[in-house]
Structure 1
Amino acid sequence: MSMDLKIFNRDKVIMSNYSSEQLRNMVREDRVHRNMYIDPEVFEIEKEKIFKKVWLYVGHESLISNPGDYYCTTLVGQPVVLSRNVDNSVHVIFNRCGHRGAKVLNRKRGNAKLFSCMYHGWGFKPDGQLAGVPMRVDFPEKALQEPQSGMVSLPRVESYRGFVFASFNKDVEPLADYLGEARRGIDELVDRSPVGKIEFAAGCHRYHFKGNWKLQLENQADMYHPAACHASTVGPDGRQFRRRAGKEGGDAAFFTPDGEAVVAQTGVRGFLKGHSSEASLFDKEQSGGVWDDYRTLMVDAYGEERTKDILKNRRHSMTLFPSVDILIAQTSVRVIRAVAVDHTEIEVWPVRLTGAPDVISTDLVKYLNITHSAASFIQSDDLEAFERCQEGLKTEGAEWFLVAKGMGHEIDEGKGVLFGPRSSEVGQRAQHYAWRDLMGA
């Protein structure tokens, strides 16, 4: 039975024919309904019940290293600014003038003592406070003192090891609680710097695909697809092309000499709150060339045993639901932005390991160009798959699709972490269950 569902926020009311129960029932234990991917009405509800309720990744603090620095992006389709104030505090504010609502900053990045609106000249401090109004005496002073006359801050902003997150929900749980055990993905990336610091210093790849945002998110917990989808990237020896620094350990084993897809033996983990991770594709430790110089710096900083642990091939990536993927294997960060039900924007940022040899970072950009750019050997395969899924899900051949690989064979590792061997779909199920809990609330 259909019921109207009202979703309220400060700006609008969305009327829906879906009840909370109907939304929740789109996710079963072993399958999900195709409307999650193709129905614009479901996407509008996702914006209110998921993206405006949880923590969303905004950017990295290295993008705003100096007072007055700003970085412009969007959250749930709304323009926002990540900025650093004169007191060195970090802020996330709506990119909107408190006077007539004009977008204030139009460049992607920059530095300014005041953020000036081009329409009527109102000026704002980097923390969003109103700083100047031409012909101020003609306005009621009481109105100018109201917070909404400035560039309003998002309700919640927190940072973890330089990664800045924000939420539209003032009552959202603390970021550390939301990340839980999945925070280890950030730790494993940042700890690879000899000084425990990373930088976004080489720009990013930015591209779009005609598909639902969840297709990219699920792909980051899918070790079943590489053997088929990325087979063209594998040489006669059964190993993929070299994609990491070092004379050894830079290529991954996909097939044994007799054709067995060893890559599909890789495990996956599902975490609480919809986070997931993939075990590493690489079967050898990196060594040789500049990597040995880098490792020496790491040993000097952390000692031999700690360095072994940091550089271990532990996981390929850690995906933090619903907006960012820590690509540990490629020393980079992938951002997922849902634009429409069938339109997603992706950014891939190479990461500089502060204190490591410069060639490590320059090589990383080269490798990322051939793995995760829009025209790369790997990402282009995935984008083709996403768009084919989006087209196929429009058909009426079946209402549900299966997400059951490895079901019943998960290993409980404690603290809400489930490990699934043999390319289990446990990580995708964790995402779907989080979607169900949020949408069905």
Structure 2
Amino acid sequence: MTYTNEEFANMVQADRVHRAYYTDPDVFDVEMRKVFGKVWVYVGHDSLVPRPGDYYCTTLAGQPVVLSRDDKGGVHVLYNRCGHRGAKVLSTTRGNARVFSCMYHGWGFRPNGELAGVPMRADFPEASLNEARAGMERLARVDSYRGFVFASMDPDVMPLLDFLGVARQGIDELVDRSPEGRIEFSAGCHRYHFRGNWKLQMDNMADTYHPAAAHGSTVGRDGRQFQRRAGQEGGAALFFAPNGEAVVSQLGVRGFKHGHSSEQSLFDKEQSGGVWDEYRAMLVARHGEERTADILKNRRHSLTLFPTLDILIAQTSVRVVKPIAVDFTEVEVWPVRLAGAPEVISEDLVKYLNMTHSASSFIQTDDLEAFERCQEGMKAHGSDWILVARGMGSEIDEGDGVLFGARSSEVGQRAKHYAWRALMSA
């Protein structure tokens, strides 16, 4: 089905979205161009390419791209495509090479995308080889914030800092927890798929309404797996109060401009004891007591950046959502190393993530089951609409385009839907 701009606009109402938003392959195809082709999309962290010649292969809107570092230290995002016959140049996920070589005819490319060599070059018109498109073309715009590299296919996209807005404070919250002020992706990633639309995962990142039900088997009053954080005190997530009240369902959510969102933290106390005290002393030595106390405040459970990036602050990790088809999505979860912190903290974070967000974890498996049931359920006849009305009309305007909703408001989900509507109806 071919939709008009007006039909795309009508697909997202103030308090609900049409099920075609999640289920129609034609909607998905247009999204790749009108959403992913028009905004800043997270590509990878610069710690994945620490040395000249390093590369990391991934996808953007289903297209193969390469994050690379040149011999002068510059970071680039290239289309993973040979300028000769269009073959994919790099086939391994990560590696290092002085020249990226195409296996089909042997054309070589520098890590900045420029053409480096052509076998039997004299047989080609030199004008053809001098064109920029003869190399591995760069995406229109590339920029980074505190090591997080973003790219856009749109040369006229707004500046990255404008796109992130005040939501970027969530990135700061994570990175500032390193005694050296930087993080590293050095422990690999969990990678898995689910049979559902990518926006189901993104909705879930702004949802504090579901844990008491969806994760009921693992967030009972003892909450044992959620106490395994560095330190001897302050490491337990309070899902239920002693009186049985579902505390998690009282948590607030923020919706930001451009579709970003964040959730309030489950952890209400600063950690202390054991290795945590050693780590805290490192931060005090660098920042002083007052700034350290501010850094270690648990403000957010996570920060989600539209369209597909989630900074899991509670798990000290990063989640990336990759749409593959209208009903098939890949998810990557990357443990984060806090550079300069005691190594045991990074090791424990990997163990903690194994319990919460691996493919066989306590928590993520529940979410994936919910996503697949949503995708199946939306095939059923009945109402064509999906309701996202919780907390509507009671949000607090905090300025800078930020709306805060208490008690598991769906304001963060609405922010994503409204951003999608603006792009798809443009």
Q: TM-score range by the shorter chain?
A: over 0.9
Query: What is the root-mean-square deviation in Å for CA atoms of aligned residues?
Result: 1.0
Q: Does 1:136 align with 2:121?
A: yes
Q: Residue 148 of structure 2 is aligned with which of 138, 155, 163?
A: 163
Q: Which amino acid aligns with 1:408?
A: G
- 1:283 equivalent to 2:281? Answer no
Say whether residues 1:148 and 2:121 are aligned partners: no
Q: 1:303 to 1:155 in 2, by over 3 A?
A: same
What fraction of aligned residue pairs are identical, expressed as a percent?
A: 73
Aligned to 1:102: 87
Structure 1 residue 283: Cα displacement: 2.0
8 Å Cα contact 1:156-1:170 kept in structure 2: yes
Of 15, 35, 39 in structure 1, the residue corresponding to residue 24 of structure 2 is: 39
Partner SS for 1:382: helix
Q: 1:248 aligns with which of 233, 241, 264?
A: 233
Partner of 2:309: 324
Residue 413 (structure 2) pairs with residue 440 (structure 1): no
2:203 alignment partner in structure 1? 218
Show the 5 A alignment for 1:305-384: 305-384=290-369
- 1:23 matched to 2:8? The reply is yes
Distance (Å, rounded) in 2 between the aligned partners of 1:244 and 1:279: 18
2:110 counterpart letter in structure 1:
K
Work out whether residues 221 and 240 of structure 2, in 8 Å CA contact, stay in contact via their aligned partners in 1: no
Q: Which amino acid aligns with 2:20?
A: N
Matched ranges for 1:403-418 at <5 A: 403-418=388-403
- Structure-2-length-normalised TM-score: 0.98
Alignment-mate amino acid for residue 34 of structure 1: R
Q: How far 1:244 moved relative to its partner?
A: 2.4
Matched AA of 2:390: K
CA distance, structure 1, for counterparts of residue 412 and residue 231 of structure 2: 30
Q: Which residue of 2 aligns with 1:400?
A: 385
What is aligned with 2:108?
A: 123
Partner deviation per Cα, 1:121-169 (whole Å, 9 max, x = no partner): 1111000100101111011111000011100000110011110000111
Maintained 8 Å contact 1:233/1:241: no
Deviation of 1:46 (Å): 0.8
Asked if 2 retains the 8 angstrom alpha-carbon contact of 1:239 and 1:253, the reply is: no
Structure-1 separation of matches of 2:235 and 2:366? 20
Tell me the secondary structure at the aligned position of residue 217 of structure 2.
Answer: helix
Matches within 5 A, 1:60-75: 60-75=45-60
**Residue in structure 2 matched with residue 8 of structure 1 by the alignment:** none
Structure 2 CA distance, aligned partners of 1:309 and 1:425? 28
Contact 1:336 1:344 in 2 (8 A): yes
Runs (5+) with no aligned partner, structure 2: none
1:386 equivalent among 368, 371, 385: 371
| Structure 1 residue 238, shift from structure 2 partner | 6.3
Counterpart CA distance in 1 for 2:51 and 2:67 is 12
Distance in 2, Cα, partners of 1:149 & 1:240 = 53
SS in 1 for 2:177: coil
Structure 2 match to 1:209:
194
Is the Cα contact below 8 Å between 1:238 and 1:256 reproduced in 2? no
* Separation of aligned partners in 2, 1:371 and 1:133: 49
Q: Corresponding residue for 1:198? A: 183
Tell me the SS of whatever aligns to 2:209. coil
Q: Distance in 1 between matches of 2:77 and 2:66?
A: 5
Paired residue total: 426
Deviation at 1:257, TM superposition (A): 2.5
Normalising by structure 1, report the TM-score.
0.95
Separation (CA, whole Å) in 2 of partners of 1:400 and 1:85: 49
Match of 1:427 among 412, 415, 419: 412
Q: Indicate conservation of the 8 Å contact 1:212/1:344, yes or no.
A: yes
List gaps (5 residues or longer) in structure 1: 1-15
- Cα distance in 1 for partners of 2:270, 2:217 equals 24
Query: Secondary structure at the residue paired with 2:32?
Result: helix
Q: Aligned-pair distance for 1:231?
A: 1.4
